[in-house]
């Protein structure tokens, strides 16, 4: 995937910023691009595939590179900080003191931003604010998805534990659940934990 978007609004007197977004998920990439386009005068390039990442990023000589902190290919970007050829520009992760608050906010939002040396914080801020807001939404969705999956897993384990109790003690489903819940309360643990322990133990005995 290799998309290019040009932001048409000439709000600044200076050259438009070039922003590279490293993101494999096409939908997420498009959402981030749309948000950034609204934030100011910039050209946004999305790079999805990770092979030769540093070289492909350097070819765009970006002012800002944005990548999800959870992305394991992020270490490939570290090579950018070593750019030393005459045509390459060094990129640092927020070296200037003025941007350190921004850097912290970005890290907490789960985003890493590499910024070319000397880029003024007032030019960077609207972009990062937008990116941070966008990443917040993405991370929230991811957390909700994980929570849903976990709840589903737990329900499966509880069902299996109920089945074991029904078989072993000859009780009905409601009673089996009551036994589980009482054990959980007595031990100060969650029902799902007790169910998990029972299923594991039963697996060892069978």
Partner 1 sequence: MKLTPLSVGYVPLVDAAPLMVADQMGFAETEGLALELVPAPSWSSLRDMVAFGKVGAAHMLSVVPVAMAMGLGGMTTPLSAALVMSVNGNVIGVGRALEARLREQGYGFDFADAAAAGAALARAADGPLVIGAPFPFSMHVELLHYWFAATPLSGLPIEIRTVPPPMMAQALAEGEIDAFCVGEPWGSVSVENGAGALLLPGKAIWSFAPEKVLAVRSDWAEADPQLLGRLMRAVWRAGRWLSQPDSHTAAAELLSRRGYLDIPPEVVDRALSGRLTITPGGEQRRSEGLVEFHAGAANFPWRSQAKWMAAQLAARHGLDREAAIRAAGQVYRTDLYRRHMAGVGAELPSASEKLEGAILHPTAVPTQAGRLTLQPDTFFDRRIFDPSA
Could you list the residues that contact partner 1 (CB under 8 A)? 50-52, 54, 69-79, 81-82, 84, 91-95, 103-104, 107-108, 112, 114
- Write down the least CB distance from residue 108 to partner 1, Å: 8
In the complex with partner 1, the residue whose CB is nearer, 18 or 81, is: 81
In the complex with partner 1, the residue whose CB is nearer, 41 or 68, is: 68
In the complex with partner 1, the residue whose CB is nearer, 116 or 180, is: 116
Is residue 81 a contact partner of residue 53, using CB atoms and an 8 Å limit? no
In the complex with partner 1, the residue whose CB is nearer, 16 or 62, is: 62
- Write down the least CB distance from residue 131 to partner 1, Å: 16
- Write down the least CB distance from residue 13 to partner 1, Å: 29
- Write down the least CB distance from residue 46 to partner 1, Å: 20
Is residue 16 a contact partner of residue 42, using CB atoms and an 8 Å limit? yes
In the complex with partner 1, the residue whose CB is nearer, 29 or 53, is: 53
- Write down the least CB distance from residue 76 to partner 1, Å: 5
By the 10 Å C-beta count (0-12 exposed, 13-18 middle, 19+ buried), 48 is classed as middle
């Amino acid at each position: 995937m290799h998309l290019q978007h040009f932001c048409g609004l000439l709000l600044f007197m200076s050259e438009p910023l070039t922003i590279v977004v490293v993101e494999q998920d096409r939908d997420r990439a498009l959402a981030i691009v749309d948000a950034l386009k609204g934030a100011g005068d910039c050209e946004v390039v999305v790079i999805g595939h990770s092979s030769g990442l540093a070289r492909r990023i350097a070819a765009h000589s970006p002012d800002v590179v944005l990548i999800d902190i959870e992305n394991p290919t992020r270490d490939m970007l570290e090579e950018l900080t070593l750019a030393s050829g005459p045509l390459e520009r060094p990129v640092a992760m927020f070296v200037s003191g003025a941007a350190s608050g921004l850097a912290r906010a970005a890290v907490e939002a789960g985003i890493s931003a590499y910024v070319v040396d000397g880029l003024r914080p007032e030019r960077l801020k609207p972009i990062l604010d937008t990116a941070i807001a966008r990443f917040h939404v993405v991370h929230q969705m991811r957390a909700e998805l994980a929570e849903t999956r976990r709840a589903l897993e737990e329900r499966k384990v509880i069902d299996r534990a109920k089945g074991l109790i029904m078989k072993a003690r000859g009780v009905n489903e409601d009673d089996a659940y009551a036994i589980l819940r009482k054990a959980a309360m007595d031990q100060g643990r969650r029902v799902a934990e007790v169910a998990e322990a029972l299923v594991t133990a039963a697996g060892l005995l069978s």
